[in-house]
Amino acid sequence: GESVGLHLPTLSVQEGDNSIINCAYSNSASDYFIWYKQESGKGPQFIIDIRSNMDKRQGQRVTVLLNKTVKHLSLQIAATQPGDSAVYFCAETPTHNYGQNFVFGPGTRLSVLP
């Protein structure tokens, strides 16, 4: 597969441990945020989203936390599994009525150790 990012920050975790991936954003007008997962050779896949009227949102094994004061977003993965190994991107946008352009973070590579 292709290399998504040769110079990405990397997070290595033991299988079964919890993972926390962080993202700082810069646009204070951003009010909609998404986390994407990209496995080698594939396009990014939606994991979870959150709007600015919330601080926390939970999905299956994943939780997104939003701190608007310091413009920080995090993705928590519970009981990390080998299939979670991928590059994770945060994306932000100010929501418009008809469309929006997301700005993507540089990504973090998650490696799950056996």
Partner 1 sequence: DVKVTQSSRYLVKRTGEKVFLECVQDMDHENMFWYRQDPGLGLRLIYFSYDVKMKEKGDIPEGYSVSREKKERFSLILESASTNQTSMYLCASSPPGGGYTFGSGTRLTVV
| Binding footprint of partner 1 on the chain (CB under 8 A) | 2-7, 32, 34, 36, 41-46, 49, 89, 91, 95-102, 104-107
Contact 84, 110 (CB under 8 A): yes
- In whole angstroms, how close is the CB of 56 to partner 1 at the nearest point? 18
- In whole angstroms, how close is the CB of 7 to partner 1 at the nearest point? 5
- In whole angstroms, how close is the CB of 20 to partner 1 at the nearest point? 20
**Tokens at residue 37, please?**
């997962």
CA 50/CA 35 separation, integer angstroms: 9
Indicate the residue among 34 and 110 with the shorter CB distance to partner 1. Answer: 34
The contacts of residue 96 (CB under 8 Å, 6+ apart) are none
CA 66/CA 80 separation, integer angstroms: 21
Indicate the residue among 6 and 70 with the shorter CB distance to partner 1. Answer: 6
Indicate the residue among 69 and 101 with the shorter CB distance to partner 1. Answer: 101
Contact 38, 84 (CB under 8 A): no
- In whole angstroms, how close is the CB of 14 to partner 1 at the nearest point? 27
